[in-house]
Every structure is written in structure tokens, then in C-alpha cells.
């Protein structure tokens, strides 16, 4: 049985444990081994698309993210500080030395926005994104991430990001399951949001360009 990375990332939580031996077999050993960039990118492309604009809504777009940010996430997956059922099976195969080149590649790809499914919800999300929520003191997302979601070297690009992925991450920040945010700022923000706020803002964010002017 040889699994493509695409199949791996399609599979959900429960399936992973079951599939793990297959993955390990297909790659010989789980030991990290540096391989040429082009070959390694095939492993990422299955879930994130060759150009980093993942079409699977549960998976993040990596296109246009700051290279330093990507490296930090990869290191956190490797050390286990950031948990992900999918990435925890992939990351043991990748050598830490490969991180900078992979990050560099994806940072140079153009971010492509998606479309909102629910226009009314997206409009509520825009209000939160641009103005914040006064009653629960949620700061506006645009303050740090910019109006177009392009981000900076300190605050990641979130414009055009897949909505299902954004919802999952904000819920993880809210519960504290994801705790690798610098200065604990995102946990503070997400704790002040309810699930409805989170769904609305995610619906709006997917429509943002993400690429700076």
C-alpha cells in the first residue's frame, strides 16, 4: 500500500493512527532525511497544492506567508509545541535543514483569495475584522494584520486563508490547544470571541486579497 500525501491529509484524526504504518513503510524509515527541494515539495503539494494555495478548505494556504513565520511553525510542529494530527505524521520525515528552503519557496508564491459562501455572514465578519467587537473588547484584526490581510514580518498573512482552517485555528487558540502564538496575543483575542464571531470573521477573511498593494 503506497499512500500519496494527498490521501494522508484527506484522512481525519482517527484514520491517522491507522494509516501511520503505511506512511512509514512508504518512506522506508520515519527518520528525517534531507532530500532535494523539488522532491520534497511533492510531499507538501498533496495537501497545500504546488503553489501553496490549498484547495482543501481544512488545510492552510502557505502562499505568501513570511518565510520566518513558516520556519517557526515547522520547528514547532517538529518539537511538538504546535500539534496537528496531519503535520505530526509528516514532519518526522523532513529534516530541519530543509525548513528554510521550503519556507522560502512558499513565501514567494502569490496568495490567491477564495470566495465567501454566505454573504450575510461575511458582512458580519467584515465588521469584526475592521472594527473589532466593543462589547467584548475584541481588537480589530486589521490593526495587526492590515486591512487586506497582507500581514507583516511579525503578523502572518491571513487574507484569503481557507475558512475551515481559520475556524479550527481560532477555536484552538480559544481553548489553548494552540499556544505557540507570540506574546499570547492570539489566545487573548480568541478567548473573547464566541464561535459565531469566529465563523463570521473566517467567512470574510477568505475573500481578502492577502497580497499587499
Which parts of this chain interact with other proteins (CB under 8 A)?
132, 134, 137-144, 152, 154-155, 183-185, 188
Mutual angle of helices 119-131 and 195-205, in 10-degree steps: 100
Q: Residue 8 or residue 198: which is nearer to ligand HEC going by CB? A: 198
Check residue 139 for interaction with ligand HEC (CB under 6 A).
yes
DSSP, res 110: P
CB–CB of 149/112 below 8 Å? no
Alpha-carbon distance of 166 to 203, in angstroms, equals: 9
Find the shortest distance in angstroms from Cβ 3 to ligand HEC.
Answer: 45
Q: Residue 145 or residue 199: which is nearer to other proteins going by CB? A: 145
Contacting residue, 137, 176, 195, 196, with ligand HEC by CB under 6 A? 137
Q: Residue 140 or residue 179: which is nearer to ligand HEC going by CB? A: 140
Helix and strand numbers (H, E) in the chain are 11, 0
Find the shortest distance in angstroms from Cβ 129 to other proteins.
Answer: 10
Q: Residue 56 or residue 144: which is nearer to ligand HEC going by CB? A: 144
Main-chain dihedrals φ then ψ at residue 188, nearest 5 degrees: -60, -40
Find the shortest distance in angstroms from Cβ 37 to ligand HEC.
Answer: 40
CB–CB of 114/207 below 8 Å? yes
Find the shortest distance in angstroms from Cβ 173 to ligand HEC.
Answer: 15
Alpha-carbon distance of 112 to 77, in angstroms, equals: 25
Check residue 55 for interaction with ligand HEC (CB under 6 A).
no
Residue 144's binding partner out of other proteins, ligand HEC, none, with CB under 5 to 8 Å set by partner kind:
other proteins
DSSP 62-84: -TT--HHHHHHHHHHHHHTSS--
Residue 134's binding partner out of ligand HEC, other proteins, none, with CB under 5 to 8 Å set by partner kind:
other proteins
Q: Quote the radius of gyration of the chain (alpha carbons, Å).
A: 17
Residue 106's binding partner out of other proteins, ligand HEC, none, with CB under 5 to 8 Å set by partner kind:
none
Find the shortest distance in angstroms from Cβ 135 to ligand HEC.
Answer: 12
Query: Sign (positive/negative) of CA torsion 35, 107, 99, 53?
Result: negative
- The site for ligand HEC (CB under 6 A) is made up of 137, 139
Amino acid at each position: 500500500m503506497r499512500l500519496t500525501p494527498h490521501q494522508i491529509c484527506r484522512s481525519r484524526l482517527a484514520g491517522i493512527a491507522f494509516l501511520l504504518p503505511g506512511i512509514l513503510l512508504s518512506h522506508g524509515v520515519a527518520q528525517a532525511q534531507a532530500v532535494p527541494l523539488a522532491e520534497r515539495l511533492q510531499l507538501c503539494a498533496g495537501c497545500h497544492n504546488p503553489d501553496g494555495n490549498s484547495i482543501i478548505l481544512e488545510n492552510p494556504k502557505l502562499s505568501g506567508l513570511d518565510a520566518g513565520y513558516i520556519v517557526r511553525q515547522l520547528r514547532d510542529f517538529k518539537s511538538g509545541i504546535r500539534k496537528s494530527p496531519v503535520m505530526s505524521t509528516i514532519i518526522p520525515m523532513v529534516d530541519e535543514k530543509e525548513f528554510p528552503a521550503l519556507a522560502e519557496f512558499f513565501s514567494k508564491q502569490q496568495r490567491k483569495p477564495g470566495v465567501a459562501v454566505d454573504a450575510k455572514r461575511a458582512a458580519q465578519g467584515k465588521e469584526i475584522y475592521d472594527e473589532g467587537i466593543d462589547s467584548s473588547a475584541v481588537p480589530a484584526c486589521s490593526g495587526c494584520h492590515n486591512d487586506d490581510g497582507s500581514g507583516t514580518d511579525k503578523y502572518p498573512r491571513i487574507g484569503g486563508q481557507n475558512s475551515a482552517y481559520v475556524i479550527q485555528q481560532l477555536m484552538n487558540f480559544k481553548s489553548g490547544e494552540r499556544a505557540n502564538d507570540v506574546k499570547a496575543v492570539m489566545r487573548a483575542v480568541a478567548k473573547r470571541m464566541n464561535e459565531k464571531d469566529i465563523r463570521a470573521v473566517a467567512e470574510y477573511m477568505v475573500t481578502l486579497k492577502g497580497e499587499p498593494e
